């Protein structure tokens, strides 16, 4: 950090506070720069109450940006700007220009950025800056460790998962991903981000037309669905894995569905019933003539869904009518 601190009368320097900050306007090494104030809208109904430090720092930032000054003091100024507003796109963009122009140590910048991200891990700009640094370095040897540290803080952090998907694919770092994801799913079976990343890994490293892969993933998913039948993430994953071969391809899938559907003393999962309706429709699409008992079963389940999924009652009533009309009239 490049904040300059004033010594207090006692001789001690405080770690924080406006009173310890020496404004750029009072620093002799910045006397050659004329600050550029922010243009405020005339007659604004609500104005932002910037602190005096914020105004001072960003007035000088606008000045050096306007003259495209590429110097160590400009770089230090961006550090002060980031401390005050780590979401400012322009500051990060100009800092990247300075990093390259001044030939700064990019690994040192990564260390600086790690601390910034730890305090601002839901900030898009800090993750974009990290991606740019990794691109400049053209290697991502520490990224798995770093993203795992962030995911321990926030296991569903969108920016972190997006970054991990990018560098894993960009640098072919697929090894160990499934084992990592299995642990995350075991820790939190409802972690939709982990399920999504698992599908990303499988989809990029395997073929979903390979039945050995499909069966492996189906068996894994079935074991999780049996633990938490109301977990939408696992049902969506199951649909994704079966999308090429068909929902009815593996007998263990329907065996699981029938087992869960027949369980006494348990509230039926809406995801289970909806999945079974789709399975029946998939079967009916291939039949000629069609099995009337299957049509009746699908209509009955759609009517059941209208009572389970009450927010979408009208939709499920429509599904019941549609199934009856589509498959009864076209024998």
Which fold is adopted by the domain 21-104? 1.25.40
Q: Which of 18-22, 52-56, 60-64, 197-201 has the lowest mean pLDDT?
A: 18-22
pLDDT at 41: 77
Give the per-residue SS3 of 174-213.
Answer: CCCHHHHHHHHHHHCCCCHHHHHHHHHHHHHHCCCCCHHH
pLDDT at 271 > cutoff 90? yes
The answer to whether 78 touches 129, Cβ cutoff 8 Å, is: no
| Helix 177-187, helix 192-205: angle, nearest 10 | 160
| Helix 211-227, helix 232-241: angle, nearest 10 | 170
Q: What are phi and psi of 5, to 5 degrees?
A: -110, 140
| pLDDT per position as a tens digit, 144-192 | 999 999 999 999 999 999 999 999 999 999 999 999 999 999 999 999 9
pLDDT at 15 > cutoff 90? no
Q: Which of 20-24, 177-181, 296-300, 326-330 has the lowest mean pLDDT?
A: 326-330
Beta-bridge mates of residue 21: 5
Q: What are phi and psi of 182, to 5 degrees?
A: -60, -40
pLDDT at 10 > cutoff 50? no
Is the model more confident about 36 or about 3? 36
Question: Which residues are part of the catalytic machinery?
Answer: 122
Half-sphere exposure of 188 (CA within 13 A, CB side): 12
pLDDT at 19: 62
| pLDDT per position as a tens digit, 210-251 | 999 999 999 999 999 999 999 999 999 999 999 999 998 999
Q: Rounded distance, CA 253 to CA 229, Å? A: 13
Q: What is the dihedral of CA 63, 69, 72, 75, to 10 degrees?
A: 60
Q: Rounded distance, CA 14 to CA 6, Å? A: 8
pLDDT at 266: 77
Mean pLDDT of 302-316: 94
pLDDT at 239: 97
In which residue ranges of the chain is CATH 1.25.40 found?
A: 21-104
Range 129-163 burial, b when 16+ CB lie within 10 A, else e:
bbbbbbeeeeebeebbebbeebbeeeeebebbbeb
Range 82-98 burial, b when 16+ CB lie within 10 A, else e:
bebebebeebbebbbeb
Give the pLDDT band (50/70/90) at residue 330: low
């Amino acid at each position: 950090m490049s904040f300059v601190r004033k010594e207090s009368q006692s001789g001690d320097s405080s770690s924080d506070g406006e009173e310890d900050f020496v404004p750029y306007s009072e620093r002799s090494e910045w006397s050659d720069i004329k600050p550029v104030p922010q243009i405020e809208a005339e007659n604004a109904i609500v104005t932002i109450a910037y602190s005096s430090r914020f105004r001072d720092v960003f007035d000088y930032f606008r000045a050096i940006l306007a003259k495209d000054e590429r110097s160590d003091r400009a770089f230090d100024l961006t550090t002060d700007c980031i401390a005050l507003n780590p979401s400012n796109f322009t500051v990060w963009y100009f800092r990247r220009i300075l990093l390259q122009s001044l030939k700064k140590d990019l690994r040192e910048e990564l260390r600086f950025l790690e601390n910034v991200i730890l305090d601002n891990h839901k900030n898009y700009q800090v993750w974009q800056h990290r991606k740019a640094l990794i691109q400049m370095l053209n290697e991502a040897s520490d990224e798995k460790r770093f993203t795992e540290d962030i995911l321990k803080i926030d296991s569903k952090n969108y920016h972190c998962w997006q970054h991990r998907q990018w560098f894993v694919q960009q640098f072919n770092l697929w090894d160990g991903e499934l084992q990592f994801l299995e642990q995350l799913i075991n820790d939190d079976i409802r972690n939709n981000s982990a399920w999504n990343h698992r599908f990303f890994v499988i989809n990029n490293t395997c073929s979903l037309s390979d039945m050995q892969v499909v069966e492996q993933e189906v068996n894994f998913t079935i074991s999780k669905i049996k633990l938490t039948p109301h977990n939408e993430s696992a049902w969506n994953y199951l649909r994704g894995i079966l999308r090429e071969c068909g929902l009815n391809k593996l007998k263990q899938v329907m065996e699981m569905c029938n087992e869960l559907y027949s369980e006494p003393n348990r509230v039926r999962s809406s995801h289970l019933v909806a999945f079974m309706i789709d399975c029946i429709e998939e079967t009916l699409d291939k039949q000629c003539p069609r099995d009337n008992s299957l049509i009746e079963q699908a209509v009955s389940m759609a009517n059941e869904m209208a009572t389970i999924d009450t927010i979408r009652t009208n939709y499920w009533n429509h599904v019941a009518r549609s199934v009856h009309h589509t498959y009864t009239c076209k024998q």
